[in-house]
């Protein structure tokens, strides 16, 4: 069944899931995929890219896709890639690509996702973000900086991806399973 191109129909394509996991995709490939999805106004619920070769340039392209997409994703899987970040390095604390990615979600008007739970009122659905198995040095420090800059009432790192009662204060609500489990990358960066 054909729905036509979004430029013609003025309606975006919506996919429940795009799973390109374990394909050894490089940064250049990820950039092409993200640019293509932006140009065709493809909207996703789940972006699954685990086990590829994504680095800083690829994560930047993913961040740009998310920023330009009016709809929120509910799951992003970037586990077991080659993403390097060190919150202590760079010109200023928090200038790494992972912090920029989380800032994008914090500042995006579609996050956090809220659900109408009837009599229970509004609930927040945390973004399920899998980033374990990369080269994020000092991941606990990175999260501490995000909470410090964003504000403890505005940043919520959840133990599960289950919806919880809305408090109207969150700008970033995220579940980060295995975020603290990182690895050393070939560039000599030792993950802690």
Q: What is the pLDDT of residues 18-65, one digit of tens each?
A: 999 999 999 999 999 999 999 989 999 999 999 999 999 999 999 999
Given this model, what pLDDT does residue 191 score?
41
Mean pLDDT calculated for residue range 135-159: 95
pLDDT tens-digit readout, 79-136 = 999 999 999 888 887 899 999 999 999 999 999 999 998 898 999 999 999 999 999 9
Instruction: Measure the CA–CA gap between 107 and 171, rounded to whole angstroms.
Output: 7
Cβ–Cβ < 8 Å for 164, 112: no
179, pLDDT greater than 60: yes
pLDDT category at 7 given cuts 50, 70, 90 is low
Q: How far apart are the first and last CA of the chain?
A: 49
73, pLDDT greater than 90: yes
Q: b/e string for 169-192 if b means 16 or more Cβ within 10 A?
A: ebbbbbbbbebeebeebeeebebe
192, pLDDT greater than 50: no
Alpha-carbon separation of residue 147 from 45, 111, 150, 188 (angstroms):
25, 16, 5, 28
pLDDT category at 189 given cuts 50, 70, 90 is low
Residue with tokens 């994560």: 59
């Amino acid at each position: 069944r054909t729905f036509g191109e979004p430029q013609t129909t003025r309606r975006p394509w919506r996919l429940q899931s795009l799973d390109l996991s374990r394909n050894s995709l490089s940064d250049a490939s990820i950039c092409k995929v993200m640019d293509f999805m932006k140009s065709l106004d493809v909207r996703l619920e789940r972006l699954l890219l685990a086990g590829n070769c994504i680095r800083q340039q690829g994560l930047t392209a993913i961040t740009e896709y998310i920023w330009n997409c009016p709809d929120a994703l509910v799951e992003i899987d970037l586990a077991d890639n080659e993403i390097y970040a060190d919150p202590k390095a760079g010109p200023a604390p928090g200038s790494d690509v992972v912090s920029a990615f989380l800032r994008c979600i914090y500042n995006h008007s579609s996050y956090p996702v809220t659900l109408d739970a009837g009599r229970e009122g509004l609930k927040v659905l945390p973004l399920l973000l899998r980033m374990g198995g990369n080269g994020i040095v000092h991941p606990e420090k990175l999260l501490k900086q995000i909470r410090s800059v964003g504000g403890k009432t505005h940043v919520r790192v959840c133990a599960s991806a289950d919806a919880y009662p809305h408090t109207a204060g969150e700008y970033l609500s995220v579940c980060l399973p295995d975020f603290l489990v990182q690895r050393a990358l070939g560039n000599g960066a030792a993950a802690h």
